[in-house]
Chain A
Amino acid sequence: MFAPFMVNAWISASIVAVIAGVVGFFVVLRGAAFVADAVPQGAFAGAAGASLLGINTLIGLAVFALAGSLGIGWLSRRGRRDVATALILVMMLGLGALFLSFTVEYSSEIFSLLFGEVLGVSTNEILPIALLGIACILAIGVLYRPLLLSSLAPESAAARGIRLGWLEVAFLVIVGVAASMTLPVVGALLIFSLMIGPPAAARSLTSNPALAIGLSVVLALATVWIAIAAAFETNWPIGFFVGVGGGVCYAIGRVIAAVRGSRTRRAPAITIAAAAE
């Protein structure tokens, strides 16, 4: 399991887990799960296009992820984000369908982009993933407080001079880049589970936001490590274990929250929004 040919798998999966844990915390907090799902799926079309042109698929991924995030950010300034996200997603998938129709050979490469091929990550792929991952985490670190405040009290954030529109676009770009860079490892369809399951579970386990991010990383790491080990032992696809692992994380978090919630005081739900002018 720790043989030399597995080293890249362990390294790349660990990087992906750290990125997904950190960025995923804000994806869950800001209700951007659909974006985190749509951008890598759409970026998959970029990889198909790059492969058609004979250039590095990572470049295709990056271009489409960036274009998709900016498109969603731009379109949702004047409308609902879920509608903008869906429109961008179907446009990119449409392009993907076109690109795929022009190609005949590498169905296995496409398959691995969709479902991930952690064992197929090459050494020269690790560096770009690591660099972009570090960039995403640094960006989240820089925007940490404005992101947190604007998620809780957007009007209060705006009153403090935070430009909510720009912050949202910056955040979507981070999500798009993070999700798409991790795509070659866990696949377009499954990165989503790593970005949602562990952070959602971490929220149930602690009320301290910084601690929740740390826990989210730990849970994401545990998920991918277990997934690699299990995939190695069973020869089943790693995507199966990552996807199920994300769901299991969330389920465990909810159970713990429910047990704790039944023991501590729970104030009745109230709404302050009613009397808006």
Chain B
Amino acid sequence: MTPTEVTSGPVDSQILTVDGVSVRLGGRQILDEVRFSIGPGELVGLIGANGAGKTTLLRVILGLQATSGGRVLVNGTPVSAGRRGLIGYVPQKIQLDPDIPVRARDLVGLGLDGNRLGIPLPSRRRRLLVEEMIDAVDARAFANQRVGNLSGGEQQRIMIAHALISQPRLLLLDEPLANLDIRASNEVIALLARITTEQQVSVLISAHEMNPLLPVMDRVVYLAGGRAASGTTDEVIREDVLSKLYGYHIDVLNVHGRLLVIGHADDRFEILVGDESAAAPGHAGHSDSAAVQK
């Protein structure tokens, strides 16, 4: 049950195919037959309010979350422990204690072999790969600093390098722009747009705010109520498509190029996606913020 289904090619040429994935957790339907695909070198935004199921969907793709239906193909094969090298993952939170004696470059190196057993032996190849990756994310200036002393944007760049150093085909980022100021956010977006081509990787970015991503997104996967609509921004961020997805009337406003998704229900309207304050830290979800009596 997807309102729109736009794929950019046959299934076997897709890097990621999410095919009718459903997840039930504790009697709640978190994901309901979610269906979309990502082609080579595409940068796709996974957009939805907090609680829409973005993290759950990313965990399904990583093979960490069991599904109650559907399947996920990465590079044409089902996800399993052995295929995880194809996916790089930037989680939403990392340990930030400045006391931890781990430098940015150590974290990048752990992206290459952090799951291996034994002590890392000094190797020229490993060192070169780490150096190359540090340059690729413009992290040379703070590569020898402790991870816990880096700013949010710097940490995101290091985690991106950490995820990319094993040369995955698909890069998943969970809310990489959350809690970044506008400048840091723009730097991370520009970096992601650049590495998509440089590293020949497909990118799926989850975000509760799509406007910063509009200039770089090839396509959008919009999650609401566990269901997804996918396609280009013009195809998906429309009143008819989103109204069908949400199950009630949705207005899409274009304010000087900024898209606001506004829901109408019970005589109230609220900005669902598009207002940064709607997802500011401290607000648990969209429903308790930006709600205005009509």
Report which A residues bind B (CB closer than 8 A): 29, 141-146, 148-149, 151-153, 155-162, 202-204, 206-212, 257, 265-277
Q: How far is the CA of A272 from the CA of B279 in the complex (A)?
A: 13
Whether A141 and B119, one on each chain, are in contact in the complex, defined by CB atoms closer than 8 angstroms, is yes
Whether A156 and B162, one on each chain, are in contact in the complex, defined by CB atoms closer than 8 angstroms, is yes
The minimal Cβ–Cβ distance linking B204 to chain A, given in whole angstroms, is: 13
Whether A272 and B92, one on each chain, are in contact in the complex, defined by CB atoms closer than 8 angstroms, is yes
Cross-chain contact of A267 among B50, B110, B149 (Cβ < 8 A): B149
Q: How far is the CA of A234 from the CA of B84 in the complex (A)?
A: 60
Q: Which of B139-173 contact A (CB under 8 A)?
A: 144-147, 149-152, 154-155, 159, 162-163
CB within 8 Å for A149 and B110 given contacts A266-B149, A267-B150:
yes
Whether B281 and A275, one on each chain, are in contact in the complex, defined by CB atoms closer than 8 angstroms, is yes
Whether B92 and A276, one on each chain, are in contact in the complex, defined by CB atoms closer than 8 angstroms, is yes
Q: How far is the CA of A143 from the CA of B118 in the complex (A)?
A: 6
Whether A146 and B117, one on each chain, are in contact in the complex, defined by CB atoms closer than 8 angstroms, is yes
B100 at the interface (CB under 8 A from A): yes
Whether B93 and A276, one on each chain, are in contact in the complex, defined by CB atoms closer than 8 angstroms, is yes
Which residues of B lie under 8 Å from residue A158 when comparing CB positions?
62, 64
Q: How far is the CA of A149 from the CA of B154 in the complex (A)?
A: 18
B114 at the interface (CB under 8 A from A): yes
Further pairs besides A148-B114, A152-B107, A272-B155: 13, Cβ < 8 Å: A145-B113, A148-B106, A151-B95, A153-B94, A153-B159, A155-B91, A159-B84, A161-B84, A203-B99, A208-B101, A209-B106, A210-B119, A277-B56
Q: Which 4 A-B pairs have the closest CB atoms?
A: A149-B114, A155-B91, A274-B281, A159-B89
Main secondary structure of the interface of B (DSSP, over half): loop
B28 at the interface (CB under 8 A from A): no
Whether A143 and B117, one on each chain, are in contact in the complex, defined by CB atoms closer than 8 angstroms, is yes
Whether A145 and B110, one on each chain, are in contact in the complex, defined by CB atoms closer than 8 angstroms, is yes
Which residues of B lie under 8 Å from residue A209 when comparing CB positions?
101-102, 106
Whether B114 and A145, one on each chain, are in contact in the complex, defined by CB atoms closer than 8 angstroms, is yes
Q: Which of B208-265 contact A (CB under 8 A)?
A: 208
Q: Report B106-150 CB contacts with A as 1/0, cut-off 8 Å.
A: 110011011111111000000000000000000000001111011
B282 at the interface (CB under 8 A from A): yes
Q: How far is the CA of A159 from the CA of B113 in the complex (A)?
A: 13
Question: Which chain A residue shows the least CB distance to B117?
Answer: A142
Most chain B CB inside 10 Å of its own CB: which residue of A151, A160, A212: A160
CB within 8 Å for A152 and B94 given contacts A162-B115, A270-B151, A271-B179:
yes
Whether B162 and A277, one on each chain, are in contact in the complex, defined by CB atoms closer than 8 angstroms, is no
Q: How far is the CA of A158 from the CA of B58 in the complex (A)?
A: 13
B271 at the interface (CB under 8 A from A): no
Which residues of B lie under 8 Å from residue A275 when comparing CB positions?
50, 92, 175, 178-179, 208, 279, 281
Whether A153 and B95, one on each chain, are in contact in the complex, defined by CB atoms closer than 8 angstroms, is yes
Q: How far is the CA of A251 from the CA of B53 in the complex (A)?
A: 46
B272 at the interface (CB under 8 A from A): no
